[in-house]
Amino acid sequence: KAGVTQTPRYLIKTRGQQVTLSCSPISGHRSVSWYQQTPGQGLQFLFEYFSETQRNKGNFPGRFSGRQFSNSRSEMNVSTLELGDSALYLCASSPDLSLGTQYFGPGTRLLVL
């Protein structure tokens, strides 16, 4: 079974721009969660999607948003990028909402200049 895939793997943007990251979950998994990982804060939960609806949200500003499509693929968007948004963005999938083990993708490394 193929694992979680994320595109692109690396991205360089400048302040004020916006960015869209993509995640394809493991086949059959219906829940997709997004996390931000930085050296200082570690892994922090952004949001979880299930059946095309956001079901759970972490403590991030509204500049961070996402969506899920009918095939369970998910995208996250960050608008008006700030230097502090530089991080590794990780997507994880699980079979069901807030249940079971989450399996992570390789991440998208975002650098904001």
Partner 1 sequence: EDQVTQSPEALRLQEGESSSLNCSYTVSGLRGLFWYRQDPGKGPEFLFTLYSAGEEKEKERLKATLTKKESFLHITAPKPEDSATYLCAVRVYGGSQGNLIFGKGTKLSVKP
Residues of this chain that bind partner 1 (CB under 8 A):
4, 33, 35, 42-48, 56-59, 88, 90, 98, 101-107, 109
Residues with Cβ within 8 Å of residue 12, at least 6 apart in sequence:
110, 111, 112, 113
Beta-ladder partners of 74: 23, 68
Question: Where do we find the tokens 């899920």?
Answer: 68
Nearer to partner 1 by C-beta: 90 or 112? 90
**Closer to partner 1 at the Cβ: 4 or 76?**
4
Rounded to a whole number of angstroms, the minimum distance from the CB of residue 103 to partner 1 is: 6
Q: Looking at beta carbons only, is 13 or 104 nearer to partner 1?
A: 104
Q: C-alpha angle with apex 9: 111 to 3, nearest 5 degrees?
A: 140
